[in-house]
Structure 1
Amino acid sequence: MNWQQLFSTKRSGSEHRTAYSDAIRTSFLRDYDRLIFSSAFRRLQNKTQVFPLPGPVFVHNRLTHSLEVASVGRSLGKAVGDAIAQKYPNENDTFREFYKYELPSVIAAGCLAHDIGNPPFGHSGEDAIRTFFRELAGTEKQQFAESLSENQQRDFLFFEGNANAFRTLTHSFNEKTPGGFRLTYTTLASIIKYPADSLHGFNKQQLVTKKSGFFDSEIETYKHIAKDLGIPQLDAAKNIFARHPFVYLVEAADDICYRIIDFEDAHRLNIISIDTIKELFLAFFNNEEGYDARERVEQVFNEINDHNQRVQFLRAKLINLLLNRVTTVFMQNEEALLQGTLQKSLIDYLPQTEQQLIKSIDRFSIEHIYNHRSVVEIEIAGYNVIGGLLKEFFAAVINPRTAKSQKLLQLISQQFVITGEPGKLYNDIQSVVDFIAGMTDLYAVDVYRKITGIAFPQIR
């Protein structure tokens, strides 16, 4: 791969049109705007990040998380873009313009989109979809196995929010205009953390195959993007590709944010103490100098009266520290990034001392935050609600001619086409999953309660 080919103003669905920009918005700013004004993005405001929504204490949802990740991502894009432009001063004006001024918009847009394919109820929503299809039995299991290829089956058996994000952004659903959101190839490539199909993904021996990045239905779309941007296919016989270098920046912004911000939410909910956060976060500044010296950071921390403000101060200082570290790591590994051989996320290349501190945060999070009672309760609710919705709508797709099935299928939005044709069962199941995965937490609960008779619908 080379820096010159890794960016393009071509858009999905309008590849043959001349890129349009004006004095106000460039092609990559348009990507950002299309995402932030979209319904799919707005729905993230009512999707669980970690803690249940809504509540008396405001905590992060998927939307606020994505906005904060985009803020960090923009800074990373600026820092790395400046470094690349400075390192290659003899490149043409288009190259220097992109890396110096446009890369921040690309990374910010990628960060906005990184969770757009996640179903309701956090990561348990993904698990609930997988569990439903893995526990199919009888004629439903037989029909599922006989009608779908192995890769298509694994799209559901190993349902992945990352792959669903790519589908959400590029699939036209029931619209005549192709290309979905019509984002640039550059922005789309920047969110594919695991550029492998479901058949060859979920192999943790390689970073690129840890999970999957596109469903069977979007393989050709990704291949087209990869070819245009010069992203190599790692195995000619398998749909496994190298990562686009920009992916590492989107991933790093997310890695930095969720580790730190989940602590901020847990503190607001009185799950963890200010002393715990102080102990874990201040340790990162032990060997720093100047404004980031531990003594100075701790002095400012102690001068703040409000505990929430104290946490916000440490959060800002630590994000800035890690942002600078990750920028350095990116440039140090430039050769491996362009060769497609970097086998760990950027945060895993930090100095050993800081890696140990991050592992301490991870261990504490697993024990005290991600297994907190309220988090477990929302995960169980996710299993029951999403599993219940899939049970009803999947049965309707398998047996579309029964009276109940016909009624149920009327509830699915017209943008998700149900053909009822035996040869298109994969597409029909995808439409059901598209419908459910796009729901907000509250809407999923509302539909579940109504179709199961727990709540009686009102006439509106």
Structure 2
Amino acid sequence: MNWEQLLSLKRFGDTHKRLRKEQNETRLGFEVDYDRIIFSSAFRSLQDKTQVIPLSKTDFVHTRLTHSLEVSVVGRSLGRLTGQKLLEKHPHLRDTFGYQMNDFGAIVAAAALAHDIGNPPFGHSGEKAIGEYFSHGNGKRFKDQLSEKEFQDLVKFEGNANGFKILTEHRPGIEGGLRLSYATLGAFTKYPKESLPHKPSRNIEDKKFGFFQSERDFFEEVAVELGLKKTREGKDIGYCRHPLAFLVEAADDICYTIIDFEDGINLGLIDEDYALEYLIKLVKDNINTSKYNGLTNTADRLAYLRSLAINTLIGEAAEIFLKNEDAILKGEFHESLFDKSSYEAQIKDIIKISIEKIYQSEEVISKEIAGYRMLSYLLDIYTKALLPENNDEDSNFTKLVLKSVPQLQHLQNNDSVYEKLIGICSYTASLTDGMTVASVKKYKGQSL
């Protein structure tokens, strides 16, 4: 793989090549990507989607929106720091093609901003609720009407693949979705493969999948334009990651490791003194002891350690990326950047505590159970409305359901069972936590 292709400014529908040196410096193409994402309704909906604590009413707990904004800021710094060194190593990118350090930062920031845009309500339990509706619930009835890969898209419903769908999906009057640059779409796609084969290797790019069958052809177009290296031949599609996807992943890893931990402290789920001790272990080589000891309260000490930890890990991730750049471009690097980190032990300790004290806390589990039931209920309502069984065909209730959800009405004209089902799942995933609760109450007649 080579950087000239990987930094492609091409967008869906382009009939001519976009050259970096011809870009308007007041509104660069990669910065347009960021703007289009942040003004999209899908991004705005993240303000009412779970990051750690579902349906939390606590002001200082992160939502998917605040998390995504923070990941984009970290990603921008990572991209710029890395881009500066890459241009020193490959000066022709600047001298011949016009690329600048900030281009790398803009691509990573935009991809990072969108990294959770396809996630369902109620966190990862939302993904499982959608998948298990088809593997163990009433959705099993559709299996014989779908190809093996189409059914796998549903039973292993994946927020990353749904994110690619949201960013690129054709809608009435809107061709190509947000029409982001192919470089940003490549950096966004952490798992550039389809749903089958499932985990064909232990390589990081095969851990999950990054696009549904409905977007397969377009993803291939993006991959060819970017020059991504294939990982398999024949009927199954798989590629090596776009190099900048490693930086997007690292930005996310930094934020959820440190900031979820901080949320746990603020919620009282993790003892303050105990937590500060673990953060100090992470930054002990960079801490200004006199400044730290001069802070008089826990909140200030926590904020200082958090900032220092994020800055430390940004530098570490950039260093690991640059050290392994050649292997990454050859498609020979198959793990996350922090798997190579000198801070791996400290990071794992913090994540272990977060799992025990936050992710498996009674509040999180009870809210996820409620969300699980609500999403299954809505999938039943929507599938019966769009794909009625014989005794439901004349149901006035199902007609009213479709009238209440304009986003599903255009699917009525689609003859494909798969397109209807993946459309239903994508719409259900687009609901916020609050919208999910309100929809269930409405259909149960409890909102009057």
Same fold (TM over 0.5): yes
Q: Which runs of 5+ in 1 are unaligned?
A: none
The CA distance in 2 between the partners of 1:161 and 1:456, in whole Å, is 29
Q: Which moved more, 1:428-437 or 1:244-253?
A: 428-437
The answer for the alignment partner of 2:306 in structure 1 is: 315
Measured at CA, do residues 6 and 38 of structure 1 come closer, stay the same or move farther in structure 2, by a change above 3 Å?
same
The answer for the alignment partner of 1:135 in structure 2 is: 136
Give runs of ≥4 in structure 1 deviating > 6 Å.
none
1:125–1:386 CA contact under 8 A, matched in 2: yes
The CA distance in 2 between the partners of 1:209 and 1:18, in whole Å, is 31
Measured at CA, do residues 90 and 26 of structure 1 come closer, stay the same or move farther in structure 2, by a change above 3 Å?
closer
Deviation at residue 391 of structure 1 after TM alignment: 1.5
SS of the residue corresponding to residue 196 of structure 1 reads: coil
Measured at CA, do residues 439 and 16 of structure 1 come closer, stay the same or move farther in structure 2, by a change above 3 Å?
same
Measured at CA, do residues 92 and 112 of structure 1 come closer, stay the same or move farther in structure 2, by a change above 3 Å?
closer
The answer for the alignment partner of 2:347 in structure 1 is: 358
The answer for the alignment partner of 1:15 in structure 2 is: 14
2:115–2:160 CA contact under 8 A, matched in 1: yes
The CA distance in 1 between the partners of 2:265 and 2:407, in whole Å, is 43
1:130–1:157 CA contact under 8 A, matched in 2: yes
The CA distance in 1 between the partners of 2:181 and 2:92, in whole Å, is 26
The answer for the alignment partner of 1:345 in structure 2 is: 336
SS of the residue corresponding to residue 447 of structure 2 reads: coil
* Counterpart pick for 1:397 among 362, 367, 386: 386
**RMSD after superposition:** 1.8
Deviation at residue 92 of structure 1 after TM alignment: 5.1
1:203–1:211 CA contact under 8 A, matched in 2: no
Deviation at residue 369 of structure 1 after TM alignment: 1.1
CA deviations over 1:43-64 (Å, ceiling 9, x no partner) = 1000010113341442100000
The answer for the alignment partner of 1:303 in structure 2 is: 294
CA deviations over 1:157-205 (Å, ceiling 9, x no partner) = 00000000000000023x2331100000000010111111011244452
The CA distance in 2 between the partners of 1:84 and 1:75, in whole Å, is 14
SS of the residue corresponding to residue 173 of structure 2 reads: coil
Q: Which moved more, 1:16-25 or 1:248-257?
A: 16-25
SS of the residue corresponding to residue 328 of structure 2 reads: helix
Using the aligned pairs only, state the percent identity.
Answer: 40
Measured at CA, do residues 299 and 436 of structure 1 come closer, stay the same or move farther in structure 2, by a change above 3 Å?
same
2:120–2:428 CA contact under 8 A, matched in 1: yes
Measured at CA, do residues 358 and 300 of structure 1 come closer, stay the same or move farther in structure 2, by a change above 3 Å?
same
Measured at CA, do residues 432 and 385 of structure 1 come closer, stay the same or move farther in structure 2, by a change above 3 Å?
same
CA deviations over 1:284-333 (Å, ceiling 9, x no partner) = 234x2xxx2x4x2x432332223222211111000000110111100110
2:119–2:159 CA contact under 8 A, matched in 1: yes
The answer for the alignment partner of 2:227 in structure 1 is: 230
Q: Which runs of 5+ in 2 are unaligned?
A: none
CA deviations over 1:363-382 (Å, ceiling 9, x no partner) = 11111111111111221121
Question: What does 1:284-299 align with in structure 2 at a 5 Å threshold?
Answer: 284-286=282-284, 288=285, 292=286, 294=287, 296=288, 298-299=289-290
2:212 pairs with 1:215: yes
* Counterpart pick for 1:77 among 64, 68, 79: 79
TM-score by length of 2: 0.94
Deviation at residue 93 of structure 1 after TM alignment: 2.6
The CA distance in 2 between the partners of 1:57 and 1:18, in whole Å, is 46
The answer for the alignment partner of 2:184 in structure 1 is: 187
* Counterpart pick for 2:168 among 154, 167, 170: 170
The CA distance in 1 between the partners of 2:371 and 2:440, in whole Å, is 11
Question: What does 1:76-115 align with in structure 2 at a 5 Å threshold?
Answer: 76-91=78-93, 93=95, 95=97, 97-115=98-116
Measured at CA, do residues 94 and 221 of structure 1 come closer, stay the same or move farther in structure 2, by a change above 3 Å?
farther
CA deviations over 1:25-78 (Å, ceiling 9, x no partner) = 110010000011111111100001011334144210000000000000000000
Deviation at residue 397 of structure 1 after TM alignment: 2.3
2:147 pairs with 1:149: yes
The answer for the alignment partner of 1:333 in structure 2 is: 324
The AA in structure 1 aligned to 2:379 is L
The CA distance in 1 between the partners of 2:194 and 2:404, in whole Å, is 31
TM-score by length of 1: 0.92
1:418–1:431 CA contact under 8 A, matched in 2: yes
1:396–1:405 CA contact under 8 A, matched in 2: yes
The AA in structure 1 aligned to 2:107 is V
Deviation at residue 271 of structure 1 after TM alignment: 1.2
2:438 pairs with 1:446: yes
SS of the residue corresponding to residue 58 of structure 1 reads: coil
Measured at CA, do residues 202 and 276 of structure 1 come closer, stay the same or move farther in structure 2, by a change above 3 Å?
same
1:115–1:165 CA contact under 8 A, matched in 2: yes
Measured at CA, do residues 176 and 336 of structure 1 come closer, stay the same or move farther in structure 2, by a change above 3 Å?
same
Measured at CA, do residues 74 and 94 of structure 1 come closer, stay the same or move farther in structure 2, by a change above 3 Å?
farther
Measured at CA, do residues 401 and 415 of structure 1 come closer, stay the same or move farther in structure 2, by a change above 3 Å?
closer
* Counterpart pick for 1:411 among 404, 408, 416: 404
The AA in structure 1 aligned to 2:15 is H
The CA distance in 2 between the partners of 1:416 and 1:35, in whole Å, is 25
1:232–1:242 CA contact under 8 A, matched in 2: yes
* Counterpart pick for 2:63 among 56, 61, 82: 61
1:417–1:428 CA contact under 8 A, matched in 2: no
2:402–2:408 CA contact under 8 A, matched in 1: no
The AA in structure 2 aligned to 1:271 is L
Question: What does 1:198-213 align with in structure 2 at a 5 Å threshold?
Answer: 198-203=195-200, 205-213=202-210
Deviation at residue 274 of structure 1 after TM alignment: 1.9
CA deviations over 1:72-124 (Å, ceiling 9, x no partner) = 000000010000001123445354x4242211011000000000000111111
The AA in structure 2 aligned to 1:230 is G
The AA in structure 1 aligned to 2:337 is L
1:280–1:361 CA contact under 8 A, matched in 2: yes
Q: Which moved more, 1:16-25 or 1:335-344?
A: 16-25
Aligned residues: 440
SS of the residue corresponding to residue 231 of structure 2 reads: strand
The AA in structure 2 aligned to 1:123 is H
